């Protein structure tokens, strides 16, 4: 029966946290509305009732202090999970994330360990407008000392969140808001997906598409459609964006000779630029075309559904991008 057990993406997050808290009394959670209310997205539902208000802490709306709480507790021996409701709010806590959490170990000559997990809801598609829809992962990946994780499905969510909590470095776990209700098989037993390991979601020979978060699923949908026309896509979900599994990506590039990178963050300065550059540096001679990128246009995320649906990449635009790329030779 266990192999047909299903859980949502949000439920998988919740289960990973619950199992970690059961296994290790040093694990605690803190954030806005996560206690009695269970989190605005319900991802912390039931945890305070189970573990008490000392271990699932409702905080003031104070993002700097929330991250600082996690840093101070982590460096003195606890294993905190602190939640920043929306990824946009990392900007409010940026000093604590970038100047403190990411650097303490290094600045202290290696003496500190920082087993801190920062969880946050990223991505667009909810008409949540420009301050509640952003995909800011590239900024985080640019900071030495941080790890950045972005699951695309419930199975990966549970395994990656478990790894984040066990990790002794500060890690940002991005939950895509539009994936919270996605349901799929998730084993009940605790398991870990190692950070820095990409997942080849679909094997193919004609083109490699690198996509993460919700875009990995949109890419899979595009790939299934293209397969009916005989175009076989290899879909790679890096799962961890920092450290990035460059080996798996370049290996695939050498095989298919054509690569597209997809993300819903704006294209300029996004992860796609880094991935494309690495492929060019490491596998240029194998390429039949320059690495292509799909990302959002260079504007804030618009509010109106009429605008946002054209702003975000989707299966149709990804399919078009792949067709465009495979036509080159």
Partner 1 sequence: MDLSPPVQFDLHRRMVRIRVFEEAAGRLAEANKLPGFLHLYVGEEAVAAGVCGALNDDDHITSTHRGHGHLVAKGGDFNRMMAELMGKSTGMCKGKGGSMHISDLSLGMLGANGIVGAGSPIAVGAAFANKYRGRGQVAVAFFGDGATNIGAFHEAANMACALNLPIVFACENNEYGEFTPRSATMAITDIVDRAAGYGMPGVIIDGMDVVAVHEATLEAVARARAGDGPSLIEAKTYRFYNHHGIQNLGLKYRPDEEVAKWRERDPIFTFEDRMIENGTMTRERVDEIWAGLRNEIEVAIKFAEESPLPTPDQILVDVYTSMTGAAK
Instruction: Pull the structure tokens for residue 243.
Output: 């450290």
Please identify, among the stretches 105-113, 126-134, 213-221, 271-279, the one whose residues bind partner 1 according to the rule CB under 8 A: 105-113
List the interface residues with partner 1, window 211-240 (CB under 8 A): none
Distance, in Å, from the CA atom of 267 to the CA atom of 129, rounded to the nearest integer, reads 18
Report the sign of the C-alpha dihedral through residues 102, 97, 156, 205, in that order: negative
Q: How many residues bind partner 1 (CB under 8 A)?
A: 56
Which residue, 28 or 86, has its beta carbon nearer to partner 1? 28
Kindly name the residue from 132, 176, 257, 263 that is annotated as catalytic: 132
Report the sign of the C-alpha dihedral through residues 196, 184, 233, 209, in that order: negative
Residue 27 in contact with partner 1, rule: CB under 8 A: yes
Q: What mask, x for binding partner 1 by CB under 8 A, covers residues 31 to 70? A: -----------------------x--x-xx-xxxxxxxxx
Q: What mask, x for binding partner 1 by CB under 8 A, covers residues 136 to 175? A: --------xx-x--------------xx-xxxxx------
Residue 77 in contact with partner 1, rule: CB under 8 A: yes
* 235 strand-pairing partners: 202, 209
With beta carbons less than 8 A apart as the criterion, state whether 152 and 217 touch: yes
- Strands 240-242 and 147-149 come out as antiparallel
Which residue, 79 or 258, has its beta carbon nearer to partner 1? 79
List the interface residues with partner 1, window 108-127 (CB under 8 A): 108-115
Residue 107 in contact with partner 1, rule: CB under 8 A: yes
Q: What mask, x for binding partner 1 by CB under 8 A, covers residues 243 to 282? A: ----------------------------------------
Which residue, 135 or 242, has its beta carbon nearer to partner 1? 242
Report the sign of the C-alpha dihedral through residues 277, 231, 205, 239, in that order: positive
Half-sphere exposure of 241 (CA within 13 A, CB side): 31
Instruction: Pull the structure tokens for residue 57.
Output: 């802490």
Distance, in Å, from the CA atom of 145 to the CA atom of 143, rounded to the nearest integer, reads 6
Minimum CB separation of residue 92 from partner 1 in Å reads 9
Residue 24 in contact with partner 1, rule: CB under 8 A: yes
Distance, in Å, from the CA atom of 160 to the CA atom of 7, rounded to the nearest integer, reads 15
Minimum CB separation of residue 254 from partner 1 in Å reads 27
Report the sign of the C-alpha dihedral through residues 174, 179, 180, 182, in that order: negative
Minimum CB separation of residue 50 from partner 1 in Å reads 16
Tokens 């875009």 -> residue: 215
Residue 205 in contact with partner 1, rule: CB under 8 A: no
Distance, in Å, from the CA atom of 196 to the CA atom of 186, rounded to the nearest integer, reads 21
Which residue, 101 or 233, has its beta carbon nearer to partner 1? 101
Which residue, 33 or 232, has its beta carbon nearer to partner 1? 33
With beta carbons less than 8 A apart as the criterion, state whether 30 and 69 touch: yes
Annotation marks residue 142 as catalytic: no
Which residue, 31 or 204, has its beta carbon nearer to partner 1? 31
Q: Which of 45, 78, 126, 273 binds partner 1 (CB under 8 A)?
A: 78
Our measurement of the distance from residue 96's CA atom to the centroid of its chain's CA atoms, rounded to an integer in Å, reads 20
307: which residues sit within 8 A by CB, 6+ positions away?
Answer: none
- Report which secondary-structure segment, H or E, holds 175: strand 171-176
Mind telling me the catalytic residues? 132
Interacting residues toward partner 1 by CB under 8 A? 20, 23-24, 26-28, 30, 54, 57, 59-60, 62-80, 95-96, 99-100, 104-115, 144-145, 147, 162-163, 165-169
């Amino acid at each position: 029966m266990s192999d047909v057990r299903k859980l949502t993406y949000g439920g998988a997050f919740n289960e990973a946290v619950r199992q970690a808290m059961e296994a290790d009394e040093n694990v605690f959670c803190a954030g806005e509305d996560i206690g009695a209310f269970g989190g605005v997205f319900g991802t912390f539902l039931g945890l305070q009732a189970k573990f008490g208000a000392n271990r699932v802490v409702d905080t003031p709306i104070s993002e700097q202090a929330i991250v600082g709480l996690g840093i101070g507790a982590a460096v003195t021996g606890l294993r905190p999970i602190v939640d920043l409701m929306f990824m946009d709010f990392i900007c409010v806590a940026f000093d604590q994330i970038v100047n403190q959490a990411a650097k303490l170990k290094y600045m202290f000559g290696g003496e500190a360990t920082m087993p801190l997990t920062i969880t946050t809801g990223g991505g667009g598609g909810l008409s949540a407008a420009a301050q509640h829809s952003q995909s800011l992962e590239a900024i985080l990946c640019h900071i030495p000392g941080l790890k950045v994780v972005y699951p695309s499905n419930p199975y990966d969510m549970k395994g990656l969140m478990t790894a984040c909590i066990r990790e002794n470095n500060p890690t940002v776990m991005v939950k895509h808001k539009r994936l919270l209700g996605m349901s799929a098989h998730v084993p009940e037993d605790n398991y870990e997906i190692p950070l820095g390991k990409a997942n080849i979601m679909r094997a193919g020979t004609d083109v490699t598409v690198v996509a993460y978060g919700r875009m990995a699923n949109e890419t899979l949908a595009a790939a299934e459609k293209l397969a009916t026309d005989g175009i076989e896509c290899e879909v790679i979900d890096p799962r961890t964006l920092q450290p990035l599994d460059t080996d798996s990506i370049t290996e695939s590039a050498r095989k298919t000779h054509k690569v597209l990178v997809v993300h819903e963050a704006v294209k300029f300065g996004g992860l796609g630029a880094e991935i494309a550059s690495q492929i060019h540096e490491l596998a240029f001679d194998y390429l039949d075309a320059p690495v292509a990128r799909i990302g959002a246009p260079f504007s804030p995320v618009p509010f109106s559904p009429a605008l946002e649906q054209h702003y975000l990449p989707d299966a149709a635009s990804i399919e078009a991008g792949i067709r465009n790329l495979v036509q080159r030779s």
